[in-house]
Amino acid sequence: MINLVFYFQVHQPYRIRNFSVLDIGKGKDFFDDELNGEVMRKVANKCYLPTNKLMLELIDKFEGRFRVSYSITGTAIEQFRKYCPEVLYSFRDLAKTNCVEFIGETYYHSLSFLYDKDEFLDQVKMHRDTIKKEFGFSPITFRNTELIYQDTLSDYIWEEEGYKVILTEGVDRILDWRSPLYSYKDKNKNMMMLLKFYSLSDDIAFRFSNKGWVEYPLTVDKFVKWIRDLNLIEKGKKNLYLNLFMDYETFGEHQWEETGIFEFMRALPGKALRSQQIDFAWPSDVLQKTNYQPESISFPEPVSWADMERDLSAWRENDMQYNALETFYEILPKIKAAGDPALIEMARKLSTSDHYYYMSTKYFQDGDVHKYFSPYGAPETGYRNFMNAITDLEERI
């Protein structure tokens, strides 16, 4: 049996406005309220609301056999509440079906794991509390920001109550000859692991509307056939997991409605379930369904799901990114020590990984995804605004 494990990432950062040196120390808000509201309302109408509606329909139709999971960041939840509460209500409706699993992560979608263990665990706890409060769900599956993972992450998370499953990228250089379709255990064998099957995930998330792609257009029949072909490799009775992990914004935002992405998703469960070998599963199902002894797998170096490199280079490659991160994690403890909750909250919003992603110069010239996601004309502008914002907080201590 092959289990389709859909996990959708739902995230919106607090984008920083053009913030000059002259704005420092004046108690001004450096987040771009107008832009953040505009983006949230746009994405809500194009993606969150119609896709949630579709998921509800599908869950209803297949009476529990269609299962999906979500990781919704704290900054996204806050902004739903602020700019578009109906999105939050529709996620609550999904939660009420009991056919949705919520996944834990850092509240601020941050890179704190790489710099500050205490801060990382604080943010994990904050997120856990929020998911419990908003959706009545205590996560047992964890995924770190952008699927960033290395061995120590499992050790950190293991110390936290309740987490039993962890998700990350199925990186070729780690997997080597192994298949991402199996479940694995982390290096110290404490957690169960699921690895993203990136080619089929990205066929939906990135290539779906690419007319230059040889497989265009991607039909449900074609996709289900590919899945069945995968299953043929494993003739035994082992439970396999096809982990389709992607941004939720794939639906309607990265892939517009006109591309047919909604029709694709609407037809997929029926076609898939018609085959006797395909089922849907939550990440946490792996704990019951795994009918073999999972192998332990080690990630000595950090990996992620970003860019071709699948490493940290989207957020930490050039000098601006290093300097910004080092400055932030030098100042954050000082702000926490001073104890002003409002300042701590603002600082933590600056821990969101997107700020460092905007500073990437990797593909900027090619007008690649970094540019698509960036609210700034140039990486240097993002850097300047960020550095001025963190300096403002430092001056306010």
Name, in order, each residue with C-beta under 8 angstroms of 134's C-beta and a sequence gap of 6 or more.
77, 88, 91, 92
φ and ψ at 196, to 5 degrees? -60, 135
**Interface with other proteins, residue 77, by CB under 8 A:** no
Cα separation, 33 vs 11, whole angstroms: 16
Query: Least distance (Å) from other proteins to the CB of residue 25?
Result: 5
Query: Least distance (Å) from other proteins to the CB of residue 382?
Result: 11
Query: Least distance (Å) from other proteins to the CB of residue 334?
Result: 12
x-or-dash string of contact with other proteins, 329-368, rule CB under 8 A: -xx-------------------------------------
Task: Kindly tell me which of 78 and 317 has the beta carbon lying closer to other proteins.
Answer: 317
**Interface with other proteins, residue 116, by CB under 8 A:** no
Query: Least distance (Å) from other proteins to the CB of residue 119?
Result: 18
x-or-dash string of contact with other proteins, 294-333, rule CB under 8 A: ------------------------xxx-xxx-xx--xx--
Q: Are 185 and 294 in contact (CB under 8 A)?
A: yes
Residue type at position 265: M
As beta bridge partners, residue 19 has: none
Of 78, 101, 146, 317, which is the active-site residue? Answer: 146
Task: Look at phi and psi of residue 107 and say left if phi exceeds 0, alpha if psi is from -120 to 50, else beta.
Answer: alpha
x-or-dash string of contact with other proteins, 21-40, rule CB under 8 A: xx-xx---------------
**Interface with other proteins, residue 374, by CB under 8 A:** no
Task: Kindly tell me which of 24 and 49 has the beta carbon lying closer to other proteins.
Answer: 24
Known active-site residue 169: no
Cα separation, 271 vs 220, whole angstroms: 7
Query: Least distance (Å) from other proteins to the CB of residue 291?
Result: 52
Strands (E), 132-225: 141-143, 165-169, 184-185, 192-196
Q: Which of 138, 68, 146, 70 is nearest to 112 (CA)?
A: 146
User: In residues, how long is the chain?
Assistant: 397
Q: What angle do CA 366, 264, 51 make, to 5 degrees?
A: 85
Q: Can the peptide bond before residue 217 be classed as cis, meaning omega within 30 degrees of 0? A: yes
Q: Which residue is associated with the tokens 């698509």?
A: 372
Task: Kindly tell me which of 7 and 358 has the beta carbon lying closer to other proteins.
Answer: 358
> Quick one: tokens of 88?
């939050």
Query: Least distance (Å) from other proteins to the CB of residue 380?
Result: 5
> Binders of other proteins: how many residues, by CB under 8 A?
27
Among the listed residues 122, 279, 311, 394, the single contact to other proteins using CB under 8 A: 394
**What's CA 179's distance to the chain center, in Å?**
22
Active-site residue set: 146
Provide the binding-site residues for other proteins, judged by CB under 8 A.
18, 20-22, 24-25, 318-320, 322-324, 326-327, 330-331, 378, 380-381, 383-384, 387-388, 390-391, 394-395
